[in-house]
Amino acid sequence: MTVLRGTCHCGNVEVEFETSVAPADSSVRACQCSFCRRHGAKTTSDAAGRLVIRADEADIERYRFGFQVTDFVICRRCGAYIAAMSREGVNEKASLNVVGVGIRELAERDAAPVTLDHETAESRRERRRQLWTPVEIVPRTAVRQSA
Ligand SMILES: [Zn+2]
């Protein structure tokens, strides 16, 4: 397993992405939805990996639009778009914006444009179950107290 670490621009939100896929082999996507285009987002995920977002709830915003089923996690202080999250079955799953958290190994890769407008709600859920990364948000205050 490789652990790729990144942070938002101001550093209030940290991420750890565990994956067994080498950075050169991982799938880097450029979602063509209106939100991702505005952010110049490049996203990746690994269903067999794990994503930890270290942030206090007060430091993140969960923005929703369209079907209202996806939380776009944004840093409240610097505005960086961190990840898209949704509940798929029993698990919270995410697609990580490697540009927003500055993971250079992946952010500098060419991203494959992906258009998902044709999806139904059901096919979207199925794709996320298969592709997205299990995720948890861990408060930073808890980390500091236990350290
Ligand atoms: Zn920030």
Question: How close is the Cα of 98 to the center of ligand 1, in Å?
Answer: 14
Which residues fall within 8 angstroms of residue 27, CB to CB, at 6 or more apart?
Answer: 44, 45, 112
- Tell me the pLDDT band of 66, cut-offs 50, 70 and 90: confident
79 has pLDDT over 80: yes
pLDDT digits (tens, 9 = 90+) for 98-139: 999 999 999 999 999 998 888 888 888 888 888 999 999 999
Residue 126 to residues 20, 59, 91, 116: CA-CA distances in angstroms? Answer: 22, 30, 13, 13
Architecture of 2-146 per CATH?
A: Beta Complex (2.170)
pTM: 0.91
Question: How many other CB atoms are there within 10 angstroms of residue 88's CB atom?
Answer: 19
Taking CA 82 as the corner, what is the angle to CA 9 and CA 21, rounded to the nearest 5 degrees?
110
> Can you point out the beta strands (E) in 23-123?
29-31, 43-44, 50-54, 60-63, 71-75, 81-88, 91-97, 112-114
Question: How close is the Cα of 54 to the center of ligand 1, in Å?
Answer: 12
Question: How close is the Cα of 46 to the center of ligand 1, in Å?
Answer: 24
Question: How close is the Cα of 11 to the center of ligand 1, in Å?
Answer: 5
142 has pLDDT over 70: no
Question: How close is the Cα of 93 to the center of ligand 1, in Å?
Answer: 21
- Tell me which amino acid residue 14 is: E
Closest CA to 37 of 101, 123, 114: 114
* Distance of alpha carbon 36 from alpha carbon 38, whole angstroms: 5
Domain extent listing, the chain: 2-146
The mean pLDDT value of the chain amounts to: 92
